[in-house]
Structure 1
Amino acid sequence: MTDAEESVSRRRFLQATGGTAAAVGLAGCTGGNDDAGGGGGGDGTETAATNTTATTDGTTESGGEGTPEGTLNLVNATMDTLDPVAAADTASGEVIQQLYDGLTNYVNGTTAVEPLLAKGFEASDDYTTYTFDLQKGATFHDGSEVTAEDFVYAFERLAGSENSRRSYFILDSLSVEHDTEGEEYKPGSLAVEAVDDYTLKLSLSKPFHATTEMLSYSSFAAVPQGIVGDVEGHDGQVRYEQFATASPTGAGPFEFETWEQGTEAEVSRYDDYYDGDANVERIHWQIISDPNAAYNYGQNRNSDVVSIPTSKYDPSKVQVEETDDKGRKFGTYGPLRNGETAQYMAAPQIGTYYAGFNMQAVPKPVRQAFAYVLNQELMVDQVFKGRGQPAYHLTPPPIFPNQNYEQHAEEYPYGYGESNIEKAKQVMEEAGYGPNDQFELNWTQYDSNTWESMAKILRDQLSAAHVSMSIEKAPFSTLLKRGRNGNLEAYSLGWIADWPAPDNFMQLLNPPQTDTSSSDAIMYTNWSSETGSAAEAAESAYNEIVDNLAPTDAANRARNEATLAMEEANWEDVSVAPVYHSVDERFYYDWLEIEPFGGMGPSRQKYTDARITNGE
């Protein structure tokens, strides 16, 4: 998907990348356009070019094998910005990840967090105060030293800049103490203090178990104090547009060279990087939004990583040789169209795609009938060509309570690995529907041929259960706008983790946060005691989660129990019907050496360790 995420509210709801169903965005809500294919395609595929020139259809004017020139040339989708607080798309985020550093970092996109500009930290006994010790001698690309005051400024921009699209990260999710004026953040009130040049103190309004994970987002990256004048007290050293598009200044392993919108972007190795020089001299992104053009670009040996859309994907060509303890698969894929055999890896992503229902417009028997006819395994195998995992919960397997996903999934009341049309027909007839009194259901989805194939299967099955389903496709931004206005009935969306824990997903099942008459709605289901008998149980369980957010074993056990209660409440009322959990894949040529990514996705991987070899 190439659309930029539309900001639904100042605080919430983001479009994100989705592994199997590649989309654009960093975290939160995603559409599910898998036509870009596993491995990236439309969400910032990592590819490397040789000395060839790409044409508009992805072919090349001159061919050639990958060469060890020290340049890693990647394919990316259309980018929005190079400002870390303004980025809400994966294409921008992948480049930003190379230019900027924060306090902490997800290690190669896994759920593990390591110190980055912070050497370490201490937390108070009540987990509401965090004190970070910063690296000494780390510098920005303009040569100035990184200090605690730079983080104070960067966090103020995240909270209060008119350019920030991630303010809810610091104000709501992390809950850094602050004042408000009405419902808006009061500028300058953020409880972030530079104790001295190398000590930063953060004060939270309540404990939060995923503090270091949240701080790993590039939104929290350091920028030079006062570089732009979009917060009170700072006139700015450069115009905002210049900073966001032509002269971004971070402290990451690569520094900015060029960005021509819709064409290319390039960064070069920062030789004074405090954590050691990157292996490659530069990274070049060729911007190709069309998935077929990106596919051709890779097949012409212009890319280290080959984008393979679902329409071109052949699961029989995957040969898995090893599976690690994170569930990541390694092997080969081939032959490709060009005769080469690619290296292959696949990693389960912390994300879920689902069918959602406006419960005010779609009665419970219809929602249950939908769940009965939906065969998740069939959809994954036949429609998505195995590029995902069947979903029976909103919470993805890597973070499911007590790693008990499959055992609990077998209790799914609408049929585990099967479609039960007769049961769907029965529940509809018990509600008074029949051949001459069918329920007319409108299904709205992102413009994806693969999702449309799934919808057509569901439409045909539901017709036998007295449900007449029409299919409508809409741009992602239109789908979101209609959803928050309460103008959807059934729809397809997904959620990618903001942080790798169940409570990030359970907020979508908290009934008050699904009320589309509220500006804070993050879901479009309108779940309440009037639309579902289990709404009160779901809300009570979510309150239990909110009351136990501390990073302690006891609080974690309470959150896990409440998560199971919320999943089962959703089973009862079917506010959403889970379809599949995303799996992201990477197909790459032998001449690339690159670390595997993890459950948080390849867009959060720094390319400092990547190497281009001679292929021998």
Structure 2
Amino acid sequence: MRKWKSSLILATTALVLAACGGNATNDSSASTGTTGGGQVINYTAPTELSTLDTTLMTDINSSNYISHIIEGLLKIDAEGKAVPAIAAEAGTISEDGLTYTYKLREDVKWSNGEPVTAKDFVFAWQRLVDPKSGASYAYLAETIKNAKEIMAGEKAPSELGVTAVSDYEIKIELSQPTPYFESLLAFTAFYPQNEAFVTEQGDKYGTSSEAILANGPFTIENWDGTGLTWDLVKNKDYYAADEVVIDEIKVQVIKETSTAVNLFQSGAVDNAQVTGEMVKQFKDDPNVVVQKKARTAYIEFNHDNPYLQNKKLRTALAMVINRDELVNNVIGDGSTAIGGFLPADFVSDPTTGEDFAAEAGSSLGYDVETAKTLWAEAKAELGVDKIKFSLVGDDDEKNKKISQYIQGQIQNNLEGITVELRNVPKKNRLELANQDEFDLLQTGWGADFADAINYMDLLYSTSAYNEGQYKNAAFDALIDLSKTTDANNPEARWADLMAAHKLIMEDSAVIPLYQEAETQLRNPKLKGILFHSVGNEFDLSRAYFEK
């Protein structure tokens, strides 16, 4: 949800709008109803919310909706740039790149009527790095002064290099230059929190619509923490409320494609995600929009499993998956096969301008015969003839199909390997991942900011997102080098990250599957939705219905 400012080119961000007319019958009669004189969007989501706590948030769907109810110092605009939100103006950055100072707007309120002040940011960021919080995204704050020591338990959270100079001015001190730091400030994990309210709520904070405060364009209602529906209601106290046309967004989780399409065609909802054969059915429909994402879907190995510590076995598993067949015949939603860990059209070489994915090239191609040979060698090394693995993934229709395809490719081509499928709701999948209760994990990563480090950090040995416990000292050393000695040398830093990528691909650390895209049917009268390929995926706050 952020971008590199100095050496990298941000993935394209665009307004994606559906054309008028179409084969699907959607007269938007339900969608353009009014409550309180405004317009109502009926929107579908692919998965449930896991939390509204910006500190504990880990999944993109929760982040997407949190960003509609809470704003940070900065936000990402239509061109993918970090621009002022609660910050009243552009920040002041010291010549050495170590100190950032921002003045805040004085007209921003929490939904309980209290003002949003610099202290709300200081509290939220101290909570983010406090090891007691267990925040997976804490590592993003590691270049703030004393953050590493706090996360290691060596210093108190109060020593974080963030100071409320006054109620409406904040100073941030870094331990080293961080070219993408302003992009981080637009990310959900760096949003403010009201200390009194968080303290009052305790463990309940962010677990329901009653246990969260809003300062953004909408408030949230009717979410009980586990339900599949919730409502975003226009926040009349939002500082830019006059820019918000929509009165209410009624969201419901629809996991079955046919159900979503039927609701869309009847006019009951304003969007419907389509996959597989239905994409082909609607490919010429002018109501269809395709959104390309800077997101890699991949299989993560549990490297604590003694069998999966065998590189030949990992490589064999990777080589029996036909990515072209997967994206064209199984998924069919515009997603594309991928040959490395990073998506295409994401970041570019600061010297040549060549795309990272193109420069890195493809590896781990589809090669069943070689895979069988590697499996035979692995069996001899491991002293086994049969192995059973669990494959954990989400329980929506798309991910179930992907799980079944992967299961079939492995079992049909590598005799003796059995794959047991465990498709569960996303919230449960995240819990299983955090608890290392998987052998193979069907997961993915959408870029939060446009820099290769956003992906490389996932496999760093101590990363909270390294659920598979991958450990490679040479890889860690390259990442450390990119963050320290070479941090201000774009060419050397690029070489570090390119070498790190080559190393994990040669080591079969994970199995990259595809670069994600999403195909939706969308009400042609619904205009003004802002889409980002990097960061939060969509912004409905300035949307409106064309009359």
Structure 2: which amino acid aligns with 1:278?
E
Q: Identify the residue that residue 91 of structure 2 maps to in structure 1.
A: 121
Counterpart CA distance in 2 for 1:182 and 1:424 is 42
Aligned positions of 1:492-503 closer than 5 A:
492-503=442-453
Q: Secondary structure at the match of 2:175?
A: coil
Q: Identify the residue that residue 471 of structure 1 maps to in structure 2.
A: 420
Q: Secondary structure at the match of 1:246?
A: helix
Counterpart CA distance in 1 for 2:51 and 2:358 is 44
- Deviations 1:371-407 (Å, cap 9, x if unpaired)? 3333222221122115312121112223344243454
Q: Secondary structure at the match of 2:72?
A: coil
Aligned positions of 1:180-219 closer than 5 A:
180=150, 183=153, 186-219=156-189
> Structure 1 residues 537, 178: CA separation in 2 closer, same or farther (over 3 Å shift)?
closer
Counterpart CA distance in 2 for 1:479 and 1:590 is 35
The structure 2 residue matched to 1:282, chosen from 247, 252, 257, is 247
Counterpart CA distance in 2 for 1:75 and 1:173 is 38
Structure 2: which amino acid aligns with 1:449?
K
Counterpart CA distance in 2 for 1:390 and 1:275 is 41
Q: Which moved more, 1:567-576 or 1:443-452?
A: 443-452
Q: Which moved more, 1:369-378 or 1:175-184?
A: 175-184
Structure 2: which amino acid aligns with 1:190?
L
> Structure 1 residues 425, 175: CA separation in 2 closer, same or farther (over 3 Å shift)?
farther
Q: Identify the residue that residue 459 of structure 1 maps to in structure 2.
A: 410
Counterpart CA distance in 1 for 2:514 and 2:107 is 46
The structure 2 residue matched to 1:270, chosen from 215, 218, 235, is 235
Counterpart CA distance in 1 for 2:270 and 2:436 is 44
Structure 2: which amino acid aligns with 1:565?
A
Are the aligned partners of 1:357 and 1:576 in contact in 2 as well (CA < 8 Å)?
A: no
Structure 2: which amino acid aligns with 1:274?
Y
Q: Which moved more, 1:276-285 or 1:180-189?
A: 180-189
Q: Is structure 2 residue 54 aligned with structure 1 residue 84? A: yes
Structure 2: which amino acid aligns with 1:128?
L
Structure 2: which amino acid aligns with 1:468?
I
Q: Identify the residue that residue 18 of structure 1 maps to in structure 2.
A: none
The total of aligned residue pairs comes to 505
Q: Identify the residue that residue 329 of structure 1 maps to in structure 2.
A: none
Q: Secondary structure at the match of 1:268?
A: strand
Structure 1: which amino acid aligns with 2:210?
A
> Structure 1 residues 300, 179: CA separation in 2 closer, same or farther (over 3 Å shift)?
same
Q: Identify the residue that residue 400 of structure 2 maps to in structure 1.
A: 449
Q: Identify the residue that residue 538 of structure 2 maps to in structure 1.
A: 605
CA deviation after TM superposition for structure 1 residue 163, in Å: 6.5
Are the aligned partners of 1:484 and 1:524 in contact in 2 as well (CA < 8 Å)?
A: no
Q: Identify the residue that residue 307 of structure 1 maps to in structure 2.
A: 273
Q: Identify the residue that residue 354 of structure 1 maps to in structure 2.
A: 299
Q: Which runs of 5+ in 1 are unaligned?
A: 1-25, 28-45, 47-61, 231-235, 320-333, 335-340, 515-519, 528-534
Aligned positions of 1:151-300 closer than 5 A:
151-160=121-130, 165=135, 168=138, 171-172=141-142, 177=147, 180=150, 183=153, 186-224=156-194, 226-228=195-197, 230=199, 241=204, 245-246=209-210, 248-256=212-220, 258-259=222-223, 262=227, 264-275=229-240, 277-292=242-257, 293-300=259-266
CA deviation after TM superposition for structure 1 residue 580, in Å: 0.9
Counterpart CA distance in 1 for 2:31 and 2:63 is 26
Structure 2: which amino acid aligns with 1:317?
F
Structure 2: which amino acid aligns with 1:440?
I
Identity of aligned residues (%): 20
Aligned positions of 1:564-579 closer than 5 A:
564-579=498-513
The structure 2 residue matched to 1:133, chosen from 89, 98, 103, is 103
Counterpart CA distance in 2 for 1:176 and 1:285 is 42
- Deviations 1:50-86 (Å, cap 9, x if unpaired)? xxxxxxxxxxxx9946436322233345435444334
Aligned positions of 1:21-60 closer than 5 A:
none
> Structure 1 residues 149, 430: CA separation in 2 closer, same or farther (over 3 Å shift)?
closer
Q: Secondary structure at the match of 2:142?
A: helix
Are the aligned partners of 1:223 and 1:251 in contact in 2 as well (CA < 8 Å)?
A: no
Q: Secondary structure at the match of 2:491?
A: helix
- Deviations 1:456-504 (Å, cap 9, x if unpaired)? 44225533xx553433325367766666666654443222334332112
> Structure 1 residues 609, 174: CA separation in 2 closer, same or farther (over 3 Å shift)?
same
Structure 1: which amino acid aligns with 2:297?
T
Are the aligned partners of 1:355 and 1:579 in contact in 2 as well (CA < 8 Å)?
A: no
Counterpart CA distance in 1 for 2:181 and 2:339 is 28
CA deviation after TM superposition for structure 1 residue 297, in Å: 2.8
Q: Identify the residue that residue 105 of structure 1 maps to in structure 2.
A: 75
Counterpart CA distance in 1 for 2:186 and 2:327 is 32
Counterpart CA distance in 1 for 2:513 and 2:134 is 32
Q: Secondary structure at the match of 2:196?
A: coil
Are the aligned partners of 1:72 and 1:280 in contact in 2 as well (CA < 8 Å)?
A: no
Counterpart CA distance in 2 for 1:247 and 1:545 is 40
The structure 2 residue matched to 1:342, chosen from 280, 287, 297, is 287
> Structure 1 residues 242, 430: CA separation in 2 closer, same or farther (over 3 Å shift)?
closer
Q: Identify the residue that residue 323 of structure 1 maps to in structure 2.
A: none
Structure 2: which amino acid aligns with 1:494?
G
Q: Secondary structure at the match of 2:511?
A: strand
Counterpart CA distance in 2 for 1:140 and 1:272 is 8
Counterpart CA distance in 2 for 1:485 and 1:249 is 30
> Structure 1 residues 439, 545: CA separation in 2 closer, same or farther (over 3 Å shift)?
farther
Q: Identify the residue that residue 563 of structure 1 maps to in structure 2.
A: 497
Are the aligned partners of 2:54 and 2:66 in contact in 1 as well (CA < 8 Å)?
A: yes
Are the aligned partners of 2:44 and 2:269 in contact in 1 as well (CA < 8 Å)?
A: yes
- Deviations 1:533-579 (Å, cap 9, x if unpaired)? xx4542332232232574x4x2x322321222122212322121211
Q: Which runs of 5+ in 2 are unaligned?
A: 3-16, 18-26
> Structure 1 residues 191, 405: CA separation in 2 closer, same or farther (over 3 Å shift)?
closer
Are the aligned partners of 2:162 and 2:173 in contact in 1 as well (CA < 8 Å)?
A: yes
Counterpart CA distance in 1 for 2:436 and 2:49 is 30
> Structure 1 residues 182, 145: CA separation in 2 closer, same or farther (over 3 Å shift)?
closer
**What's the TM-score, normalizing by structure 1?**
0.71
The structure 1 residue matched to 2:480, chosen from 528, 534, 543, is 543
Q: Secondary structure at the match of 1:543?
A: helix
CA deviation after TM superposition for structure 1 residue 277, in Å: 1.6
Q: Secondary structure at the match of 2:273?
A: coil
**What's the TM-score, normalizing by structure 2?**
0.78
